Structure formats: structure tokens, C-alpha cells
Amino acid sequence: MRKEERYKGVLGWFQANVPVAETELHYSNPYELLVAVILSAQCTDKRVNMITPALFEAFPTPEVMAVSSPEVVYEYIKSVSYPNNKAKHLVGMAKMLVEEFKGVVPSDIKELQKLPGVGRKTANVIASVVYDKPAMAVDTHVFRVSNRIGLTVNSKTPLETEKELTKHIPKSLIPIAHHWLILHGRYVCTARNPKCESCGLKPWCNYFIHQK
């Protein structure tokens, strides 16, 4: 199967069967999403959503968080993974937002990556979810699913996967395609025991075709 054919089939199936796909993190503005995405590194969205209501109530704006301390923030986030580091990142991020960006979450990926706790994946999430930019955030789900289906071949790093996906997916679909792949990896194409029999992508899936 040609790569173009595989992409066309996979994207077509998602468009027809999953017309709405969005982040499962709860947020009501760009600052809250940025906080939630930083917290979600190596942690489930479900766990993050459990702690953010109290966190957002205590620190409703970057200005409020910027004058707090990592020790205070830690108390609100101690049940997530790596809470000490994340508490430091959140306070540092809030300070830089206030001092360099007037409290406004930037839309530029390079600018976003200047913020403490914000790597390329997080920057891409913010750019695509908040600003609808054609940025493809590659997490473990996107990385695994893309390789397994055959959208990417032998990509060794998230950046290689990102470049390959953005090369073949139409720009207008990249923001939603990011969520399609994440949700598919989370609920269908799981790391262990993928649910191949109930998966609609079987006709185009490299893994399934070679399983037979």
C-alpha cells in the first residue's frame, strides 16, 4: 500500500467516524490549559483533572501564581508525577508569562518553549489547541500509533514523527489529527493488547495486515 493511500484512508475514516476530537484536559482559558499540559507530562489527564479545580481556584491567573512559591503550589499538585519539579516549573512559567509576555500565553512555538516546563510537545499542544495552528504534538500515544499503523516508518524520535506527520496531513486537519491519534492510542490502539478486531483502521493498518 502506498503511503498516500494509507494517509487518505486513515484520515477519511477519522473524519467520518470521529468528527469531534479534543483534549480531555479541563480548562477555561489558555493559561489554565498551559498549566494542565505541564502537569500532564508522564501523568494521566484523569489525575490532572482531579487536582486542577482547586489549583485554578487558588491561582486563577499567572499574576497570582507568579507571586507564590513552589512549596505552596506543591501542596495542590502533590498527587501528580514529579510534583517538586512541576511546582518549580509552574511558578517559573507564571513569572516569565507576567514579566515577558504581559500575562498572555504566546502563540509562537519558539516563544512558548522559553517558558519553564514547556518542551516542544507542550508548545505544540498550546499552539494547536488554543491558536489552531498546524502544530503536531507527539506524545507516547501519537508516536506508537503512527509507527504501528504505518503513517511513519522507523521514526526513532518524536521530532521525526512530527515532521513525517505534518508532511503528509493537510494543514487544516493537523490540529484535530493530533487528538484523533491520541484518543485512538488511549482507547483502541493501546500499548499492550491493541483492540484490533474492533478497530476501524484495519484496512490501512500495517500492524494488522502483517498480523494476519
Question: How many angstroms from the chain centroid is the CA of residue 86?
Answer: 17
Q: How many CA atoms lie within 13 A of 50 on its CB side?
A: 9
**Which three three-digit cell numbers place residue 77?**
499538585
CB atoms within 10 A of CB 159: 12
Please tell me the distance from the alpha carbon of residue 194 to that of residue 153, in angstroms, as a whole number: 19
* Residue 43 marked as a ligand binder: no
Please tell me the distance from the alpha carbon of residue 55 to that of residue 41, in angstroms, as a whole number: 17
* Residue 205 marked as a ligand binder: yes
What residues are labeled active site?
Answer: 121, 139
Contacts of 29 (CB under 8 A, 6+ apart): none
* Residue 199 marked as a ligand binder: yes
Secondary-structure breakdown of the chain: helix, strand, coil percentages, each rounded to the nearest 5 = 65, 0, 35
Binding residues for [4Fe-4S] cluster: 189, 196, 199, 205
Binding residues: 189, 196, 199, 205
